[in-house]
Amino acid sequence: MDLALSAEQQMIVEMVRQFVRTEIVPLEEHLDPDADELPPKDYHRLMAQTKSMGLYGLDTPPEYGGPAIDLVTRSLIAIECSQHRAGLYAPCYYVFGGARQAQLFEATESQKTKYLYPMLQGEKKVFFGLSEPSGGSDPARAIQTRAVRDGDDWVLNGSKLWISGADRADYGLIFARTGPDKGRAGVTCFIVETAWPGFNVRRIVHTLRSAKYATEIQLEDLRVPHENILGTIGGGFAIANDRLSRQRIPYAAECLGVAVKAHEMAVAYAKIRETFGAPLASRQGIQWMLVDNEIDIRTARWLILDAAAKADRGEPFRTESAMAKLVSAEASGRVVDRAMQIHGGLGVAKDLPLERWYREIRIRRIGEGPSEVQRHVIARDILGASLR
């Protein structure tokens, strides 16, 4: 595969890079080190700027007003958008439109009017409710939330865990079991409004990240109109899975972006920091750490762009997506760890973004499918789809 960027890609990458360095990074100097939002004035100003750049709504198809950007270019943008303190939690604080719930593009026209279009305009916030306390690695089998038909409504009971943004969302996608089948065919997707009786954010789940990283949702006799089924009855898992492999690629690219920036910081610091009368860069132990960083970064970059290129060509890419996510999350963790070690005490101080990246990159080995699940996906490709 040719890794050379086109002139247009080079222009877009440079434009986004300058935006991050001149607009986002300076604002962070005045924010709490664990901040996950910009002040409203700055947010709306920068969102207007990304719209003028023609880069707002990166995940939105052109027919819905999004830019016509292929997945390779989208991944290149993701690499740049994560190169700031909050880059792994909120890349560019979502002023580029954030990750869309792409499943809503499969909605009916009435559902699009009510839910999709307000989301695309940034007027409504939405969450994705798949994982449950019983387990998230195999959601098709782990889903215990039940939906029972009652006239023109469905009544939902159950709970969801590790759900990002449910406490700040206007509505969300809830996956519930509608049939006795314990496999994928028994799962249906519902569009649920958070203001409806029976919908409760039970608690904020505290993790290595900031306090609002995840939530637990409780559904108690929540009535959902039949017209709010997304897709077909029993077709929920297909809706969820169709987009997950594609989303893992820019997710992996965000991991890589943090590694690139951490490595850049480590190289610069090694050149100026002296120990026992000589710069750190002259020490073989430091040199080899930087070499390992470079190898990890180049390997991850190739896997990401290869997966994205196959997706753009319409070729099967599920295994390549799994490899990109697996390697990028784990390699980026090693790069950030080495960068912290090279910086010494400064590396664990909140004066630098390294300690935050260190915490958040650890979560990336679990989010969007744990490393072990990605290895299982790859193993099935090597050994055959019948592998269990």
Residues in a beta bridge with 154: 149, 224
* Catalytic residue numbers, as ranges: 368
Q: Tokens representing 256?
A: 């890589």
Q: DSSP states of 352-371 as a string?
A: SSHHHHHHHHHHHTTTTS-H
What SS3 state is found at 278?
strand
CA dist., res. 297 & res. 281, Å (int): 19
CB-based burial of residue 183 (10 Å sphere; 0-12 exposed, 13-18 middle, 19+ buried)?
exposed
| Distance, C-alpha 217 to centroid of its chain | 20
- The end-to-end CA distance of the chain, in Å, is 32
Pinpoint the alpha helices (H) of the chain.
7-19, 25-28, 40-52, 71-81, 109-111, 117-120, 139-142, 236-272, 284-312, 318-343, 354-364, 371-383
What SS3 state is found at 229?
strand
Residue partners of 251: CB distance under 8 A and separation at least 6: 78, 325, 364, 367, 368
Residues in a beta bridge with 218: 159, 200
Residues in a beta bridge with 150: 153
CA dist., res. 147 & res. 378, Å (int): 33
Question: What 8-state DSSP symbol labels residue 22?
Answer: I
